[in-house]
Chain A
């Protein structure tokens, strides 16, 4: 047992692991908070679509020699705004719009990446994540943006509940529903981009979807769903990071598999409780 603790303490003496831990835990927390609202509004796929756009943007930024984060965050925010607009206008259904935008962005990203570096490991690390990708600036940016996401979420918690539960009621009683939808979409964009480097473009949306669905198996209150989802998300990330270090597995995939395991346990527990 002491061996394990020693092993873990050695692990966290590496700067890159410490960075990954801090940034990853914060991003997991944000993703869990936003995920509850997205899942309930049946917008889960937006997170997925945005991560593909993020991949395209990062590949493009690398090709054009732009600072990756400063280029990617605005691009993904614009994509989020577009996706919401398209879903609301209902000419093209939301799911088709997301599929179009995400595969389109993926294609652009692959083209951009293959032109500059050739199809090499860079693509691999974009798609499936790498904990080595986090620089010191990334960690600082993650920390600052995460704090902003968390503060906004707490300040607008009651409004987010009202808008998530019943958009029409909220609109009829004078709440600016569009603005709150936009707020959620923008915060989601930021979270997706922050988490994408580490978790991978193809895996980041699981951080948004799994924890809230897991919490909903057993929780009967909105507040407890939020709380449990946040705790599950952060724990899965931290434990996943440790396992991936010990077993030398890819971090992103390990965290996702852990999330699946916890989801199954909660689903079984929910079945037993509700009997």
Chain B
């Protein structure tokens, strides 16, 4: 069985349907990019996959024993976070909160996990620094470390490299690739078609519904793929 299956899902907000008849499944080991222009319903789809938002119709099913506490996600930053007084370590460690259930305090293993992820992302030296005083790239890494603390089977990324410079972007995708090689399922939502084609293995192109679902090579050869990849180079 697939990790996550969408069955005839329709999505919308405030009575407005933004995408309908969405059916696909995400398998263990996928590196999937969901792409589409702004307003195509891809962020709403992500919310439905994360079960933050209920679909208007259809259902999202978790399979293979996937539990919500085994999911990690790196979402776009909220206004609340921009001015939040917390150390990087506190932020990263909060990725372990879902594993604690109703247990009140973090264990040594939780703290070690958080420190390991920070080491992996090269932000150990920022441990005691205040989150709001970091640069965009550093904040993104701290949030990725938090997501990695939470992710055991699947990691969701929502426009992960928006606002990052090219060097940091490349580093970022190298880390994601490494995680994918080690068995993590990756689902990325992005309007950056070039990164999606360059790094992921499977593409879902959305615009009010699914226009394309297949491998990157198939996508490049398809009419819609050729148009979208070509079209973006002009702007």
Which residues of A approach B to under 8 Å, CB–CB? 40-42, 154-159, 161-162, 164-175, 216, 219-223, 225
CB distance from A194 to the nearest CB of B (A): 24
- Taken together as a complex, chains A and B put the C-alpha atoms of A165 and B78 apart, in Å, by 9
Return chain A residues, CB-CB under 8 Å to B168: none
Taking a contact as CB atoms under 8 Å apart, the answer to whether A158 and B68 are in contact is no
Which of A157, A173, A216, A222 makes the CB contact (< 8 A) with B98?
A173
Q: Quick one: given A42-B80, A162-B94, A166-B78, are A222 and B104 in contact (CB under 8 Å)?
A: no
Which stretch in B69-77, B192-200, B213-221 binds the other chain? B69-77
- Interface residues in B58-82 by Cβ distance below 8 A to A read 67-69, 71-73, 75, 78, 80-81
Taking a contact as CB atoms under 8 Å apart, the answer to whether A220 and B85 are in contact is yes
Which of A165, A172, A174, A220 makes the CB contact (< 8 A) with B133?
A220
Q: Which B residue sits closest to A218, measured CB to CB?
A: B85
Which of A159, A166, A175 makes the CB contact (< 8 A) with B81?
A166
List 6 A-B pairs, Cβ < 8 Å.
A157-B104, A161-B97, A162-B98, A166-B94, A173-B73, A221-B85
- Taken together as a complex, chains A and B put the C-alpha atoms of A100 and B99 apart, in Å, by 40
Taking a contact as CB atoms under 8 Å apart, the answer to whether A222 and B90 are in contact is yes
Q: How many residues of chain B get a CB closer than 8 Å to chain A's CBs?
A: 36
User: B101-138 CB contact bits vs A (8 Å, 1 = yes)?
Assistant: 00011100000000000000000000011100100000
- Taken together as a complex, chains A and B put the C-alpha atoms of A165 and B51 apart, in Å, by 19
B100 adjacent to chain A (CB < 8 Å): yes
B91 adjacent to chain A (CB < 8 Å): yes
B31 adjacent to chain A (CB < 8 Å): no
Q: Quick one: given A40-B84, A161-B97, A173-B73, are A221 and B130 in contact (CB under 8 Å)?
A: yes
Taking a contact as CB atoms under 8 Å apart, the answer to whether A223 and B52 are in contact is no
Return chain A residues, CB-CB under 8 Å to B91: 165
B175 adjacent to chain A (CB < 8 Å): no
- Of B72, B94, B128, B130, most buried by chain A (CB within 10 Å of CB) is B94
CB distance from B38 to the nearest CB of A (A): 19
Known A41-B80, A169-B146; 10 more pairs at CB < 8 Å: A158-B94, A159-B97, A165-B80, A165-B86, A166-B75, A168-B52, A172-B52, A173-B68, A174-B98, A216-B85
